[in-house]
Amino acid sequence: MSWVALRMLTGNRAKFMGIVLGVTFAALLIAQQASIFCGLMLMTTSQIRDIQGAQIWVMDPNVQFIDDIKPMSEVELFRVRGVPGVEWAVRLYKGLSRAKLDDGTFQQVILLGLDDASMVGAPSEMIYGSIADLRRPDAIIMDENGYGQLWPGEKFQPGKVFEMNDRRAQIVGLCKARPTFQTFPVVYTRYSQATKFAPPERKMMSFVLANPQPNVPVEEACRRIIDQTGLQAMTNEAFAWKTINYYMLKTGIPINFGITVFLGFLVGTAIAGQTFYLFTIENLKQFGALKAMGAGNLKLLGMIMLQAAVVAFIGYGLGVGAAAFFGHMTGGTSQLAYFMPWEVLWGTGVAVVLISILSSLLCIRRVMVLEPAIVFQG
């Protein structure tokens, strides 16, 4: 009876499209909002993922996320270096600074001070110049999007100068960097230079970047650092998750997005449910006739479930496809956070299945309790 169920479903094109569109809309809204949320969460970890070359981040024990800077004394660097199993450890400055442009306007920038000798954490993809250029006096490397923000519409000019903390900063290179949560430009410089660009503080070192010796597992090295220094030490991935968890638990962002996703779910269920229910009601006499002719409840249940499954499958495909297309089309926009991991596809799939089940439950009930004698009521 599968083909009968499918022909019943698709017989009225307008109704069929209505049901599919309800599910499509829900899938689109859920997948799109969830992807933007994931993109935003990913943005919070941009610097952790951009700063490559070290496997371990060491920080003050009270640091909760990447932007929660609690500077440490330089002594801590040497204590980390003294932990058995640590191959090397370097300092990293991370903070906010104010860039004063030629026209007198100010713009906040994210300032990253890399270890003068090793340059661990330097950008991995240069568009212009090289990391070695950072060794020049007052040199900084800026990210491409940040440059566009400070000088909108202007073509990149190496050697451009601006001020930070009343000190001259000269752009010697342009790099690619992941969009940041704060959307500020990212400025790379040497650690010694960064401490001059930043407002003076008693302690300046934000993080220590370290690597374990080849025969020491990274988790073991972290444990030893924690045990011996009392500092916080974790892998890149763990630090990224710590940051994400902070935003998830301590900010209203997940709730805001959760509400939208839930609304998408509700609206989708309402539209699909109502249309599917009306569709069933309109076909009630036909179901009654089938019952009278000897179609059992199980057979009719199978027909309705098949119809719901087909609607869910098409609606899911269209919705998720539209969400992916949206992400693809807006992919070049640095301000828009968009990341669609498989979990979003999975979650949207589960939501669509739930919508279909909820939508078909009422219909199933109506058909199950339907007296076939209805067909004799002219």
Between 150 and 367, whose beta carbon lies closer to another protein? 367
Between 210 and 295, whose beta carbon lies closer to another protein? 295
Between 10 and 124, whose beta carbon lies closer to another protein? 10
- DSSP, collapsed to helix, strand or coil, labels residue 365 as helix
Q: How far apart are CA 339 and CA 327, in angstroms?
A: 8
Between 223 and 366, whose beta carbon lies closer to another protein? 366
Between 81 and 299, whose beta carbon lies closer to another protein? 299
Show the tokens assigned to 309.
């499954």
Residue 128 backbone dihedrals phi, psi, to 5 degrees: -140, 140
Contact criterion met (CB below 8 Å) for 172 and 129? yes
**Residue 364 Cβ, how far from another protein at the closest point, in Å?**
17
**Residue 280 Cβ, how far from another protein at the closest point, in Å?**
14
Which residues are near another protein by CB under 8 A?
1, 3-4, 7-8, 10-12, 285-286, 288-296, 299, 371-373, 375-378
DSSP 214-270: TTS-HHHHHHHHHHHH-SEEEEHHHHHHHHHHHHHHHSSHHHHHHHHHHHHHHHHHH
Q: How far apart are CA 66 and CA 25, in angstroms?
A: 36
DSSP 170-208: EEEEEE--PPPSS---EEEEEHHHHHHHSPP-S--B-EE
**Residue 21 Cβ, how far from another protein at the closest point, in Å?**
19
**Residue 9 Cβ, how far from another protein at the closest point, in Å?**
8
Between 245 and 286, whose beta carbon lies closer to another protein? 286
Between 224 and 291, whose beta carbon lies closer to another protein? 291
**Residue 293 Cβ, how far from another protein at the closest point, in Å?**
6
**Residue 367 Cβ, how far from another protein at the closest point, in Å?**
14
Q: Which residue in the block uniquely carries the two structure tokens 């409840």?
A: 297
Between 150 and 295, whose beta carbon lies closer to another protein? 295
Residues near 254 by Cβ (< 8 Å), separated by ≥ 6?
A: 37, 247, 248
**Residue 294 Cβ, how far from another protein at the closest point, in Å?**
2
Show the tokens assigned to 101.
């442009």
Q: How far apart are CA 116 and CA 125, in angstroms?
A: 19
Q: Is 250 exposed, middle or buried (0-12, 13-18, 19+ CB in 10 A)?
A: exposed
**Residue 296 Cβ, how far from another protein at the closest point, in Å?**
5
